Amino acid sequence: MIVHIVMFKFKDENKALNMARVQKKLEDLEESIDVLKSMEVGINFNESERAMDMSLYSTFESVSDLKIYQEHPEHQKVVELIKKVTVESKVVDYILE
């Protein structure tokens, strides 16, 4: 199984609204992209200066399924929104055996 984790730091302007919008759009992908096996989107409560604002945890059967997800038009729409409302993102992909 492939695990795909992304963490986001949002711009301060309309932060709560934008986080809610992104969370909803990401969660909606579960219904439109069949290679997406599972997904969790979490809003951070840690107030540390090092903390990110949101995390995405998703799983796929294979690296090729992850690529299909990343290139899917619905995912690309969410990526464009995320680029507009965030200042930073970090990603980790790994194989879970």
Residue 41: the pLDDT is 98
Mean pLDDT throughout 11-26? 98
74, burial (CB in 10 Å: exposed 0-12, middle 13-18, buried 19+)? middle
Q: Which H/E stretch holds residue 12?
A: none
Which CATH number is 2-95's, of 3.30.70.100, 1.10.357.10, 3.40.50.10420, 3.40.50.300? Answer: 3.30.70.100
Asked whether 35 and 69 are in contact (CB, 8 A), the reply is yes
pLDDT in tens, 40-62: 999 999 999 999 999 999 999 99
Mean pLDDT of 24-49: 97
- β-partners of residue 3 are 59, 94
Domain ranges of the chain: 2-95
List, for residues 62-89, the tens digit of each pLDDT value: 999 999 999 999 999 999 999 999 999 9
pLDDT of the residue at 97: 86
Q: What is the pTM of this model?
A: 0.93
Predicted confidence band at 34 (pLDDT cuts at 50, 70, 90)? very high
